[in-house]
Amino acid sequence: MDTEKLHGLLLDNLNAAVLLLDEQLLITYVNSAAQSLLQLGSSRLLGSEMCSLFNDAESCKKTLDEALISGNPHTRRHEQLRMLTFKDISQVDYTATPMEVFGKHALLMEIQPIDRFIKINREEALLSVHDTSKSLIRGLAHEIKNPLGGIRGAAQLLEQEIIERGFGDEPREFCQIIATETDRLRNLVDRLLGPNQIPQYEPINVHEVTEHVASLLQAEVQGSLTITKDYDPSIPLLSGDRSQLIQAVLNVARNAMQALLESTGAEPEIIFKSRIQRSFTIAGKRHRVVCRIDIIDNGPGILADIEEQIFFPMISGRIGGSGLGLTIAQTAINGHEGTIECESEPGNTTFSIYLPIRDAYEQ
């Protein structure tokens, strides 16, 4: 391997976004992390003005010009970088280091997204709490299910005794109510524990999952809301358990559907969007490529006082909600080494499911 290819390989495997700017502050090189951060390919970035990508373009130009003139590195913190594809704003720190390239002045620019680090810390804290609550629930489930089995057995014996002694239908109905409610509680405990089957991993097209979920929602809503699909057809097959992924996506999408049907907003809509995302960290492990599935609705949004707790068991923003749907979804996605994130404001709630893609990129 020659030196140029080695340098390119090293730069493309850095977590930090690295760009090279000429004296006119035009981009002449971007590594893979920079393309992922800016959500644009190198063909669109090369030759463009670096400062135009920042909200405060004037401040950026002043900083970069000063770095070129002084010959000293300059660092800016908590700058707002525009994400041109998703129309989002990302907070970043960046450092501009003057250097010479082929006898000409240039700037090496390193950009670190702050908001992603905040999300990683939040995700790690959530996973820790999730593991703790799961262990607690498993202990409680064992203690609850044993007496429930005894109660149900006693109700059956009592019902049989009532039949033999001919006490009539009303006492029998009471016994049946006891048995029915006991079964309901057992089912609730089983749902708290999550999937009890070993995942059956196989190559799967993620759009088969979203299409199946979309068809289930369409059958339920009967045209009372719009379902839109925005897919990236280049996403390769990933390894997963089809039924668990369907259940996870369905739980998230059904929450969105119920929120829309209960709200009074005009033109309710759910959008299923899929994209490739590069250089993404999940539970402390960096993945070169992940599949991102966005489930977006234009409903009223999630209440601010529960937004940080929506993946915890028994937390629900709906009257009568069990608070288990998102917990089960997160457990299933965690089992695929993925994660679910949420961003919500009135009129725009996005649940993003991230699933690692290995076979096509990480062999």
pLDDT in tens, 93-107: 999 999 998 889 999
- Measured CA to CA, the distance from residue 290 to residue 280 in angstroms comes to 7
Give yes or no for residue 37 having a pLDDT over 90. no
Determine which of 69-78, 93-102, 119-128, 257-266 has the lowest per-residue pLDDT on average: 119-128
Read off the pLDDT of residues 144-181 as tens digits, 9 standing for 90 and up. Answer: 777 888 888 888 888 888 888 887 778 888 888 888 88
* DSSP symbols for 31-51: -HHHHHHHTS-HHHHTTSBGG
Given this model, what pLDDT does residue 150 score? 84
pLDDT range class, residue 30, cuts 50, 70, 90: very high
pLDDT range class, residue 127, cuts 50, 70, 90: low
Q: Are 228 and 350 in contact (CB under 8 A)?
A: no
Mean pLDDT of the chain: 82
- Measured CA to CA, the distance from residue 81 to residue 307 in angstroms comes to 25
pLDDT range class, residue 359, cuts 50, 70, 90: low
pLDDT range class, residue 362, cuts 50, 70, 90: very low
- Measured CA to CA, the distance from residue 316 to residue 327 in angstroms comes to 10
Given this model, what pLDDT does residue 312 score? 63
Read off the pLDDT of residues 185-241 as tens digits, 9 standing for 90 and up. Answer: 877 777 666 655 667 889 999 999 999 999 999 988 888 899 999 999 999 999 999
Query: Could you tell me which residue, 232 or 323, shows the higher pLDDT?
Result: 232
- Measured CA to CA, the distance from residue 5 to residue 11 in angstroms comes to 10
Q: Are 123 and 283 in contact (CB under 8 A)?
A: yes
Q: Are 138 and 189 in contact (CB under 8 A)?
A: no
Is the whole-model pTM more than 0.75? no
Share of the chain above pLDDT 90, in %: 33
Count of C-beta atoms within a 10 Å radius of residue 156: 15
Give yes or no for residue 361 having a pLDDT over 50. no
Residue 31: what are its φ and ψ, rounded to 5°?
-90, 180
Query: Could you tell me which residue, 12 or 261, shows the higher pLDDT?
Result: 261
Given this model, what pLDDT does residue 287 score? 85
Q: What is the CA radius of gyration of the chain?
A: 27
Selection from 352, 357, 311 nearest residue 336 by Cα: 357
Given this model, what pLDDT does residue 88 score? 66
Give yes or no for residue 306 having a pLDDT over 70. no
